[in-house]
Amino acid sequence: MLAPWREASEMNMQRQVNKANQRAQDARRAGDHDRADYVEHLRDLMVQKHSEGHQRGWSDYEPMVHEEFGDRHAAAPDGRHPDLHHSLATHGSVHTTGGRVLPIRVAASANFHDPAGWKFHTAFQPSQHALQGARAYNNLVGLPDPHSGAVDYHGTMRDQKSVADVAKAYDGLPNIDQSHLRHFTAMRDEVNKQHDFMTKKLGIKTQSVDHDPYSDVHEMLADVNNNKTLKVMGTNVTGGHPFFSDEENDKFRAVHDFFGHAATGRSFDRHGEQAAYLAHSQMFSPHALPALASETKGQNSSLIYNGQFGPQKLAVMSPEHYADGAAFHRTAAAVDDEWQRSVMKDVDETGGFTRRGPSGAPPTGFMVSIPGAEKTQPLTEVSGPSIAEYGQEHAHQMDEDPDLYQGGWADDPHFFHDLSRHHTDMWDAVDEARAGDQDAFYHLDSGVAPYTHELTGPGGEHGFWMARTQR
């Protein structure tokens, strides 16, 4: 009979071996054979040392295999940022929205300038269920294919300057900006749609738990592929959001892990988060995209730069900090044949269109043309490619202002291209129309255009005179 301490030691070793075997098996199923080789090599070394009487744990032996396997899988020593390793930390994540937590002993010991962190890069075989699910969802809601090949998700990486710039922008935001509420409202509604699609159409079961459910990304992938299950650490455990309910925030954590990470084959390190953001951004409308960028790119950049979690905010960064997501969003639409056919169908059937990349016009509110963007083309020459070309020419303006939309209408023998700004308040629309010397603007709810000079302002005449019905 073994002494009690020896028996406990043997049981602990067996648990570590079993866990290593499972990790290696999951890695091979995911197609990451380098990771599996690394885990098995480390397991064998640990068993050998244990048989020689050494009572050390898994993480103590990782530096010994660092030289053979390199930075891709070996854990970084304490003092480096926690996204550099997957063993010493909970699993090395900097994914704040995913509810993953960092051990206190490493959370405050970040070294932003450590070059190893910027070289660290891992990718695995995407979940085809998640990838094809993202394509199906976008097709259902009229968005372009997020996995068309336009973005190299496996090769996506960030640099120190981009992380620092975004971190400073996020840190400088107020905790709550009520004028940005509409972006978070749009994001919440679209997350609910994605979650319904993921659970009801794709059959993924989501669970909110009171602990960090996966020791690394391979365990999450195995759960998705083998069990059609995705667990997230509950918001009730990590702390609430200033806008989303706990249930809504848990839904976001689930859809981001599924459509962002599992569908791209990228981990939870700083580069994997960027790839996940780029992929997931293509599944949101332009109105929701600024909020998504704050919730993912902004929060993660702040964590990487500062080495600690900052507050979750109801505020969005300026457009240059999420233009990368907007650019892929727009470019994918511009080159998508189906998008171009859809726009031309609107022109043929209604005489015009209002779009922002793949998204249609807002359902309510007012559209005001901005001066200097007008372009006239013979109606006989208008086509999907010519409309897409106009959008590309003015892409920088739309990237800088999420309320700008591309529009066009036919008035035989001409076709008119322009950019219009969306307003929810009529008198804001009136002010901009008058400032731009516009005779009229478009009322989305009624499909007519009020003359600006007939409007007297709040408390004045009842109603307003409608100029014409927009075709």
Both structure tokens of 69 = 């396997």
pLDDT of residue 238: 76
Residues of the chain where predicted confidence (pLDDT) is lower than 70: 1-13, 30-35, 50, 52-122, 215-216, 325-337, 357-359, 399, 448-471
Contacts with 17 (C-beta within 8 Å, 6 or more apart), sequence order? 43, 46, 47
pLDDT of residue 68: 47
Q: Give whole-number Cα distances, 309 to 238, 299, 300, 303, 314, in Å.
A: 11, 8, 9, 5, 16
pLDDT of residue 54: 61
- For 139, the 3-state DSSP assignment is helix
What gap in Å lies between CA 164 and CA 305, rounded to an integer?
6
What gap in Å lies between CA 389 and CA 395, rounded to an integer?
10
**CB distance 28 to 36 below 8 Å:** yes
pLDDT of residue 34: 63
Task: Please calculate the CA angle 178-183-188 and round it to the nearest 5 degrees.
Answer: 110
What gap in Å lies between CA 214 and CA 228, rounded to an integer?
15
- For 423, the 3-state DSSP assignment is strand
**CB distance 94 to 274 below 8 Å:** no
If you search the block for the tokens 């629309």, which residue do you land on? 429
Contacts with 338 (C-beta within 8 Å, 6 or more apart), sequence order? 144
pTM for the structure as a whole: 0.58
| Residue environment code for 339-348, b if the CB has 16+ CB neighbours within 10 A, otherwise e | bbebbbebbe
What gap in Å lies between CA 27 and CA 35, rounded to an integer?
6
pLDDT of residue 71: 42
